[in-house]
């Protein structure tokens, strides 16, 4: 007869029968090590397992874990087991744990084989592309309905969205653009000073801000500030089933949620871009006049000389396109959000990343077109 | 022999700021009770639960959990009480980024010294006890509402609590799932000896599981009745309690 005691659980075999005897207090018991050992002891010659606990005083879930594991092993190896020697409530709990044998049929984070995974990923990409195209089509339809006065867009929503992405964004846009103008002037000044051409800092800042930098800075600020807020708001509506409610009421989600946000950004972005251009030039002037000791009037003379309507309009057009991209990315991410707390965070991040990536792509396309057209 | 008191509310007022939902409530919950907090919508049932679990302080009076005033106790004492309490929220309140096993292991990681393997085994046991054997690696989004509640209960049981609170356990469940959950509550109460506090207005559940209760009344902002729900139905102390327990029938 071999005997082995683990804290207050004794295991020994008698013939073909394995005995587990529990006594005293079994609290905070390390069931993992015990069960590993027990696995080895349930050898081929064991035909039955008997559980006894006549002198058991205190126990907690760790004791139940041992019994649950041991019974599971016995079941797996087709070994008969007897738990009648355990207290009635412990028996009840073990029976309860094994009462429902509902086998999970899906999910559980199972990994797919490579080929199946590849196919699934391809189908996902195609599905997402199709979703984006459908959404763009629905948005165009909504714009069409708006201009033909058939849209169900609420004007109060439009005004609230316009206020949020217009007047409320002015301070941050002005501050950041001022600082970007200032940085641009500093960086330029170091180089231009070596040629004694520091007066051209005015031209550098003006052309840089008006043509592209102003629009890009506004785009990045608004993608982080407004696009993410669109995704979070609409995503939370998805979690709260508000989007389902809209759909079952037969109302267009795009008309109701996307259109006011899109229109407000299309209006506010070009205006904010103009503000950014101006504030960037002021930032440049601050460096030129106060730090490089350039005459104030001279600085502005060169700045206005460099300012052309062509550059200005290219910048404003960039702002308009960026507004479209931010609204579409924010709303699309929100509308395709999952139904739990995590997915709102994911949708928000996606909206910002998508907007920035597509703004850079759009800038590249517009630059190439402008070059071809000689603008 | 009188039973050991685990929860004792004395002169308790519940509300938010100047808004009082319930005043001067006195009641006791004994060890091993299945205690029902019932009443119509807006009577302060869930707020009472928030006071019992120490999420909001009472406006007045005290709540003693195992002899400790939860509102006045130092943080380490409150923490100790919380370790010995489990809560099942209406939706299960599972963390969506974690699997069911990870959800259950979270309090174990925080408050126990078990090895990771033992924690996994404990999580598997708790899931099996609530009828979710084999669902360890599932995410909350992959299971139904009823299963989420069961998994939430498994998490509430993770630390072998003395008291388990349930906030509207039957809400949103079909009658069979609701009945199964009631049976599970009774079984766990009987086998583990856990004291159960249930906030609900589901009559079927109230009569099936409750052996002690209080009835909160929104109009008078008081506890209008106390006792075994079945006894209250037999001898209702007033019209409001009778109407509530009979789904709006008038006494002849």
The model's pLDDT over B172-196, given as tens digits with 9 standing for 90+, comes to: 788 888 888 899 899 889 888 899 9
A58 and A199: one domain? no
In a domain, B186, yes or no: no
A73 and A222: one domain? no
Evaluate whether B154 touches B104 at the Cβ level (below 8 Å): yes
**Beta partners for residue B7, in sequence order:** B29, B65
In a domain, B237, yes or no: yes
Closest-CA distance, A73 to chain B, in angstroms, reads: 13
In a domain, B19, yes or no: yes
Show the tokens assigned to A370.
């402008």
Closest-CA distance, B55 to chain A, in angstroms, reads: 21
In a domain, A119, yes or no: no
Evaluate whether A213 touches A187 at the Cβ level (below 8 Å): no
A51 and A147: one domain? no
Do B128 and A64 lie within an 8 Å CB cutoff? Answer: no
| Structural domain of B39 | 1-84+161-171+194-246
A92 and A133: one domain? no
In a domain, B107, yes or no: no
| A53: CATH | 3.30.750.24
Q: Which residues in chain A are closer than 8 Å to B117, comparing Cβ atoms?
A: 32
- Distance, in Å, from the CA atom of B12 to the CA atom of A112, rounded to the nearest integer, reads 57
A222 and A150: one domain? yes
A91 and A184: one domain? no
A356 and A211: one domain? yes
Do B141 and A340 lie within an 8 Å CB cutoff? Answer: yes
In a domain, A114, yes or no: no
Closest-CA distance, B65 to chain A, in angstroms, reads: 21
Q: Which residue of B has its CA nearest to A67?
A: B125
Do B133 and A339 lie within an 8 Å CB cutoff? Answer: no
By DSSP bridging, strand B85-88 and strand A3-6 are unpaired
- Distance, in Å, from the CA atom of A323 to the CA atom of A358, rounded to the nearest integer, reads 11
A146 and A74: one domain? no
In a domain, B150, yes or no: no
Mean pLDDT in chain B?
89
| Structural domain of A279 | 126-373
Residue A204's pLDDT is: 93
In a domain, A75, yes or no: yes
Residue linked to tokens 């690696």: B137
In a domain, A102, yes or no: no
In a domain, B201, yes or no: yes
Could you tell me the strand order of the sheet in which B34-39 lies? Answer: B85-88, B163-167, B195-199, B34-39, B212-217, B222-226
Work out the percent of chain B whose per-residue pLDDT is above 90.
Answer: 47
Instruction: Kindly tell me the sign of the dihedral angle through the C-alpha atoms of B74, B79, B84, B90.
Output: positive
Question: Which residues in chain A show pLDDT less than 50?
Answer: 1-5
Residue A2's pLDDT is: 44
Do A109 and B134 lie within an 8 Å CB cutoff? Answer: no
Residue B252's pLDDT is: 66
- Distance, in Å, from the CA atom of A333 to the CA atom of B6, rounded to the nearest integer, reads 50
A168 and A250: one domain? yes
In a domain, A141, yes or no: yes
Evaluate whether B38 touches B235 at the Cβ level (below 8 Å): no
- Distance, in Å, from the CA atom of A156 to the CA atom of A178, rounded to the nearest integer, reads 33
Nearest to A104 among B120, B124, B138 (CB): B138
In a domain, B187, yes or no: no
A220 and A333: one domain? yes
In a domain, A121, yes or no: no
Number of domains in chain B: 1
Task: Kindly give the residue spans of alpha helices, DSSP state H, lying in chain A.
Answer: 31-41, 61-76, 88-97, 114-147, 155-165, 170-194, 201-208, 214-222, 228-239, 242-248, 253, 259-285, 296-306, 309-335, 341-373
Do A97 and B125 lie within an 8 Å CB cutoff? Answer: yes
Do B114 and A28 lie within an 8 Å CB cutoff? Answer: yes
Among B residues 161-200, those touching chain A with beta carbons less than 8 Å apart: 187, 190-193
In a domain, A309, yes or no: yes
Nearest to A93 among B99, B114, B191 (CB): B191
| B74: CATH | 3.40.50.300
Residue A3's pLDDT is: 47
A86 and A165: one domain? no
Number of domains in chain A: 2
In a domain, B76, yes or no: yes
Q: How many CB atoms are closer than 10 A to CB A193?
A: 12
Q: Mind listing the pLDDT tens digit for each residue in B102-152?
A: 999 988 988 888 899 999 999 999 999 888 998 999 988 888 888 898 899
Q: CA dihedral defined by A259, A222, A224, A182, rounded to 10 degrees?
A: 180
Q: Is the ipTM of this complex over 0.90?
A: no
> Is the overall model pTM greater than 0.80, yes or no?
no
In a domain, A167, yes or no: yes
Where is the domain boundary, A80, A97, A114? A97
- The candidate with the shortest Cα–Cα distance to A100, out of B119, B205, B147, is B147
Residue A16's pLDDT is: 83
- CB-neighbour burial class of residue B37 (10 A; exposed 0-12, middle 13-18, buried 19+): buried
């Amino acid at each position: 007869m071999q005997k082995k005691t683990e804290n207050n659980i004794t295991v020994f075999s008698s013939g073909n029968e394995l005995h587990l005897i529990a006594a005293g207090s079994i609290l905070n018991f390390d069931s993992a090590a015990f069960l590993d050992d027990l696995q080895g002891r349930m050898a081929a010659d064991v035909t039955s397992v008997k559980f006894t606990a006549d002198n058991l005083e205190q126990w907690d879930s760790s004791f139940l874990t041992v019994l649950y594991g041991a019974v599971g092993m016995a079941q797996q190896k087709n070994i008969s087991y007897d738990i009648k020697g355990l207290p009635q409530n412990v028996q009840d709990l073990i029976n309860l744990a094994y009462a429902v044998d509902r086998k999970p049929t899906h999910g559980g984070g199972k990994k797919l084989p490579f080929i199946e995974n590849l196919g699934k990923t391809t189908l996902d990409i195609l599905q997402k592309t199709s979703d984006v195209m459908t959404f763009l089509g629905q948005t165009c339809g909504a714009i069409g309905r708006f201009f033909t006065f058939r849209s169900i867009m609420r004007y109060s929503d439009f005004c609230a969205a316009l206020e949020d992405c217009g007047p409320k964004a002015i301070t941050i846009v002005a501050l950041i653009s001022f600082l970007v103008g200032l940085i641009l002037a500093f960086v330029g000044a170091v180089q231009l000073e070596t040629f004694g051409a520091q007066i051209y800092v005015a031209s550098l800042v003006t052309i840089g801000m008006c043509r592209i930098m102003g629009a890009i800075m506004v785009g990045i600020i608004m993608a982080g500030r407004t696009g993410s807020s669109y995704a979070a708001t609409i995503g939370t509506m998805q979690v709260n089933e508000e989007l389902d409610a809209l759909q079952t009421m037969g109302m267009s989600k795009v008309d109701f949620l996307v259109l006011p946000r899109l229109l407000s950004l299309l209006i506010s972005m070009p205006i904010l871009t103009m503000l950014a251009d101006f504030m960037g030039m002021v930032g440049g002037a601050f460096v030129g006049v106060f730090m490089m000791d350039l005459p104030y009037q001279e600085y502005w003379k060169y700045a206005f000389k460099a300012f052309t309507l062509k550059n200005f309009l290219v910048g404003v057009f960039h702002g308009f396109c960026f507004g479209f991209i931010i609204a579409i990315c924010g709303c699309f991410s929100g509308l395709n959000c999952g139904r739990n707390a995590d997915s709102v965070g994911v949708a928000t991040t996606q909206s910002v990343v998508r907007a920035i990536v597509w703004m850079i792509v759009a800038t590249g396309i517009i630059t190439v077109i402008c070059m071809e057209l000689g603008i | 022999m009188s039973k050991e008191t685990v929860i004792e509310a004395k002169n308790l007022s519940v509300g938010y700021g100047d808004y009082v939902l319930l005043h001067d409530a006195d009641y006791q919950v004994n060890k091993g009770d299945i205690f029902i907090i019932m009443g119509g919508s807006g009577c302060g049932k869930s707020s009472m639960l928030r006071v019992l679990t120490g999420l909001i302080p009472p406006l007045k009076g005290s709540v003693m959990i195992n002899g400790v005033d939860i509102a006045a106790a130092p943080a380490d004492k409150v923490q100790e009480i919380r370790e010995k309490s489990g809560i099942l929220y209406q939706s299960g309140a599972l963390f969506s980024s974690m699997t069911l096993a990870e959800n259950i292991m979270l309090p174990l990681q925080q408050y126990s010294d078990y090895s990771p393997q033992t924690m996994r085994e404990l999580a598997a046991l708790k899931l099996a006890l609530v009828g979710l054997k084999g669902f360890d690696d599932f995410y909350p989004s992959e299971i139904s509402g009823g299963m989420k509640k069961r998994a939430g209960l498994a998490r509430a049981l993770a630390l072998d609590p003395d008291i388990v609170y349930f906030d509207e356990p039957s809400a949103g469940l079909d009658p069979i799932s609701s009945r199964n959950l009631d049976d599970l509550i009774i079984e766990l109460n009987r086998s583990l000896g856990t004291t159960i506090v249930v906030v609900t207005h589901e009559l079927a559940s109230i009569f099936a599981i409750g052996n002690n209760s209080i009835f909160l009344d929104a109009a008078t902002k008081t506890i209008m009745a106390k006792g075994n729900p079945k006894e209250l139905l037999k001898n209702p102390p007033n019209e409001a309690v009778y109407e509530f327990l009979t789904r709006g029938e008038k006494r002849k």
